[in-house]
Structure 1
């Protein structure tokens, strides 16, 4: 039997936080191992409890979700982190993704959808609420118009790998699909992130999808 996903929930509103925990634990694949009320508590509990997935409210006291995210990302074997927030501000979304968040989820999400998102995050997939995704792509595009798009610098093999990553496949699944060792895929992903000058798979996938929408596959 597969071990349940260990989840930590950080939000300063107790009624919402408790309801969120109950919703997640209704699924046997999920187990809420801790709850935090501010950024400091969130970082401390992650260090002590070592969850698989962390859900952070963006506007918590003592620095907010971004401060907690920064502290968590510094930890060895850091868990997957998603922001769970009411903010639809483009700058907030981009800032969170660039800082290493694998997900940006709006609080209006339905319970079953949230459980699915948590499972996807635990499996190494990224998530941005659909209502925000296109706006974020446009925001990334509007920063500057460059003659040579970074995605165009990828080799055919790197593009093949990134296309599968953008579909939500893990490194292991990409390796199986392309007949590569998982460590080889990891090496390629490191090179891809460097070429695109992004910090994580989520931002790489967003940038690539935007470019591929403009340019047919080679």
Structure 2
């Protein structure tokens, strides 16, 4: 999960890399226009194209190769199916779901399809631009509340994936401390407050943790941690 962090916007702006290119695909024209306007008003983004279906999303990702493509799940053809196809035809594009769905099945399906982000449509404008900028930079985001509930649900069903032998053995004491808090559903900002660390520092630790665990995102890392630590807690 990427926490909204408006304090370091300058590190992601302009320069030799140019604007953050985005495609927005949603079958509700008014909502889609609002998202496009929010991104354009921020100044860091260039919206290359808009669409309203899964088929359009795949074609737009292939032809425009944006840094980020925002997909609605419930649009014609299904956004999750679009994400799966985009992972094949345009693997360099970061997919983020922007949806009203809070169901565990949709969240897991989106992450398994390769989505780097899972945002709810109630997200505020400032948070939206910060999250999308983070996803463009290679970070992942699932809202803390959804991530925590998903972990509880997976553990209740006994469906958390089995961890590799000693998956957490390579973590430092500080990294393990941070991961324990993340596994409880805390955001980067909340972890920083608890440990008296800057949010940027927590993000740096989380990047190292994901690399060491070979986890695609922090939800997966948290599931691995909970599974590994379960015997100690039981």
TM-score normalised by length of structure 1: 0.76
Moved more, 108-117 or 27-36: 27-36
* Alpha carbons of structure 1 residues 145 and 39: separation in structure 2 relative to 1, 3 Å: closer
Give the C-alpha shift of residue 135 in structure 1.
0.7
Alignment partner for residue 32 of structure 1, among 47, 61, 71?
Answer: 47
The residue number in structure 1 matching 2:222 is: 206
The residue number in structure 1 matching 2:137 is: 123
* Alpha carbons of structure 1 residues 71 and 206: separation in structure 2 relative to 1, 3 Å: same
What is the Cα-based RMSD across aligned positions, in Å?
3.2
The residue number in structure 1 matching 2:126 is: 112
| Residue 4 in structure 1 maps to residue 19 in structure 2 | yes
* Alpha carbons of structure 1 residues 215 and 169: separation in structure 2 relative to 1, 3 Å: farther
SS in 1 for 2:38: helix
Q: Distance in 2 between matches of 1:212 and 1:120?
A: 29
* Alpha carbons of structure 1 residues 68 and 33: separation in structure 2 relative to 1, 3 Å: same
Give the C-alpha shift of residue 140 in structure 1.
2.1
Q: Which runs of 5+ in 2 are unaligned?
A: 1-14, 183-201
TM-score normalised by length of structure 2: 0.71
SS in 1 for 2:42: coil
State the 4+ residue runs in structure 1 displaced beyond 3 angstroms. Answer: 162-171, 208-216
Higher relative CO (Cα under 8 Å, sequence separation at least 6) belongs to: 2
CA offset digits 1:35-80 (Å, max 9, x no partner): 111000010000000000111000011x210111011011254311
* Alpha carbons of structure 1 residues 131 and 156: separation in structure 2 relative to 1, 3 Å: closer
8 Å CA contact 1:97–1:203 kept in 2: the answer is no
Aligned residue pairs total 194
Q: Which runs of 5+ in 1 are unaligned?
A: 179-184, 194-199
